[in-house]
Structure 1
Amino acid sequence: MRGLSPAIISFLPFLRSFPFFPCPRENVYVVGYRKVLTMKVWKRDFGLTLRIWLTLFLLFLVYLVFLAVLSWLGVGLPFLVLLVFGMAFIQYFFSDKLVLWSTRARVIEPEEYPELHRMVQRLADEAGIPKPRVAIMQTPVPNAFATGRSPKHAVVAVTDSIMRLLTPRELEAVLAHELSHVKNRDVLTLTIASFVAMLAALIMNNFLFASLFSRRDDNPWIIAGIVAIVVYFVAQLLIMALSRYREFAADRGSAYLTGRPADLISALEKISGRMDRVPAEQKRVVESANAFFIIPALSGSTLMELFSTHPPLEKRIAALEKVEMEMRGY
């Protein structure tokens, strides 16, 4: 077990800097040019916060148990942890470039879409973050996403079809949802949360290699591989749950940024309704970015709720209706 300590110690600094919050740290912030007159209160959902903390705690617990087993088996743990850290760093540092490339989104200048840029600028001011770059995708799939390793390196993208589908108020609500992801540093949160799944996947690959070419029944990679398969699926379930909670938090952030939860409800219903009519081959082109989209573009049968990165539409609407009642003082 002595070999376990360096890996755990190396991971703790990450946890200390981890953004464990489902909404901006500031409970009160000043809104744009109305800062003398208007203050917006962004109330926390403590039930949602508790679920996020619990999920992250369980992920860390799985990580510790997994490292303990690997250390006991003596399967070259330091090298594997270092390799996975490197993979996670690349995924985190280049997230904006990777997603833009996979979706074929193009960063646009203010002169091309002035009103869209003004809308993003206004919402960014209200959220208290730098204005992100703005990109557009040419696709019949109505959607939007945000990515980037920090608010200073963020990109918010929309499809040309969503701009035609939604009213300006609905589009603003969608953009507010995406900026909430930026404010909450969700790319960092999910990248670090994915660490244990990436490590398990790497062990699984070595297990397959060892089982094919090794004749030794006591090969530690075989035992580690079996453990890794279990850990991988448990970690994936927890990551999917965390992703769904982050979507609820971003919906809540949009409601408080715009002050109009009903506009996001209307937008989600329109996007979902139109998505059902988009040809499957068009959805497949952008499926790689489903985890980032406001509503995933699924080309096959609907995934079970347990394995989805997004909550069901009806649950998101119910949560937004609850926020609207909060804002009205009920």
Structure 2
Amino acid sequence: MKRVLLFLGTNLAIIVVASITLSLLGVGSFLDETGTGLDLQALLIFCFVFGMAGSFISLLLSKKIAKWTMKVQIIDKPRNSDEEWLFKTIERQADNAGIGMPEVGVFQAQQANAFATGASRNKALVAVSTGMLQRFNKDEIEAVLGHEVGHVANGDMITLALIQGVVNTFVMFLARVVGFAVDRIVLRNEQGLGIGYFITTIAAEIVLAILASTIVFWFSRRREFRADEAGARLGTRQGMIGALQRLKAETQVPNQLPESMQAFGITGGKKKGIKALFMTHPPLEDRIAALQNMSD
């Protein structure tokens, strides 16, 4: 599954560009009637509208950007028995999960990985790497595909967009409050908004967006357990455990997904210490243990 870092990067770019543009146009200052304070209610509404817009624009672009970034080859009509099996497996799982048939794709990568993305449960994309198709057995691949279909069926991308929209709202709001405070208290600008407000707001927005992304990463880690359960149901539990064990054995192989796409994959980069807060996936050991303890 490869989605969060790409989603966050696109979202942050949209928010920063929108903020700079609006500031240059003189929109979004939200001073009160006296010109000496902020109209917090109007500011919050403004930030909510643009925060949600940035998140959902990222969501709408996610599938196209994933195809372009990973050079995904879409299987419209299977050309051989392997593609036929892949197509039919996803078709059956989508039907069992109650979602529309996703687009099916393959991308060139030696590392074993797969991902799902898309703005709708009925118009998603599920893609798998050539490395996984070459080295994993069919039970393991079937479970991994079920994991990805589970992400789609669980509405993870929509939920992610909503969470990111709320995060955007408060990031934009707090950044402007900080910018106003610096402009008034530190730079002692007593009327209107000075250059200090705009510079501080943009800088604070970037810093707060990075810090607030830990909330999104936390959600990303939690959703992996649910998707693993879906993989066990739509495939087999032993197949899902076997796939994760094989992925664990291959952790010495460098992750060949671009960093912006690693969050969408079945496995992501491993971090320690404070960097663990920015992990998009829980440790493979924890995921395997959860499946082993899953009730039948």
Q: Deviations over 1:258-288 (max 9, x none)?
A: 2x2121111112123224223x6x44xx221
1:248 partnered with 2:225: yes
Q: Is the 8 A contact 2:53 2:165 kept in 1?
A: no
Moved more, 84-93 or 144-153: 84-93
Whole-angstrom CA distance in 1 between matches of 2:151 and 2:71: 21
**1:271-282 matches, cutoff 5 A:** 271-278=247-254, 282=256
Aligned to 2:250, the other structure's residue is in SS state helix
Q: Deviations over 1:283-307 (max 9, x none)?
A: 4xx2211221110156x87974333
Q: Is the 8 A contact 2:103 2:126 kept in 1?
A: yes
**What is aligned with 1:40?**
none
Aligned match for 1:119, one of 79, 83, 89: 89
**What is aligned with 1:46?**
none
**What is aligned with 1:194?**
164
TM-score by length of 2: 0.72
Moved more, 147-156 or 103-112: 103-112
Deviation, structure 1 residue 198: 2.5
1:322 partnered with 2:293: yes
1:141 partnered with 2:111: yes
Deviation, structure 1 residue 165: 1.4
**1:25-64 matches, cutoff 5 A:** none
Shift in CA distance, 180/149, structure 1 to aligned 2, threshold 3 Å: same
Q: Is the 8 A contact 2:44 2:173 kept in 1?
A: no
Q: Deviations over 1:1-28 (max 9, x none)?
A: xxxxxxxxxxxxxxxxxxxxxxxxxxxx
Aligned to 1:145, the other structure's residue is in SS state strand
Q: Deviations over 1:170-229 (max 9, x none)?
A: 0000000000001011000011111133235546776898769x9336779599789868
Whole-angstrom CA distance in 2 between matches of 1:303 and 1:287: 18
Whole-angstrom CA distance in 1 between matches of 2:94 and 2:38: 50
Shift in CA distance, 135/205, structure 1 to aligned 2, threshold 3 Å: farther
Higher relative contact order (CA 8 A, sep 6+): 2
The one-letter code of the counterpart of 1:142 is A
1:269 partnered with 2:245: yes
TM-score by length of 1: 0.65
Whole-angstrom CA distance in 2 between matches of 1:164 and 1:172: 13
Aligned match for 1:180, one of 150, 156, 175: 150
Unaligned runs of 5+ in 1: 1-69
Aligned match for 2:276, one of 305, 316, 319: 305
Q: Is the 8 A contact 2:175 2:204 kept in 1?
A: no
Deviation, structure 1 residue 237: 2.9
Unaligned runs of 5+ in 2: 1-30
Q: Is the 8 A contact 1:135 1:157 kept in 2?
A: yes
Aligned to 1:292, the other structure's residue is in SS state coil
Q: Percent sequence identity over matched residues?
A: 32
Aligned length: 250
Whole-angstrom CA distance in 1 between matches of 2:171 and 2:111: 31
Deviation, structure 1 residue 255: 1.3
Q: Is the 8 A contact 1:95 1:149 kept in 2?
A: yes
Q: Is the 8 A contact 1:141 1:297 kept in 2?
A: no
Deviation, structure 1 residue 74: 3.0
The one-letter code of the counterpart of 1:110 is K
Q: Deviations over 1:84-137 (max 9, x none)?
A: 222122112222112222222222223232111011112112222222110111
Whole-angstrom CA distance in 1 between matches of 2:203 and 2:259: 30
Deviation, structure 1 residue 253: 1.3
CA RMSD of aligned residues (A): 3.5
**What is aligned with 2:264?**
292
Q: Is the 8 A contact 2:63 2:125 kept in 1?
A: yes
Whole-angstrom CA distance in 1 between matches of 2:132 and 2:152: 20
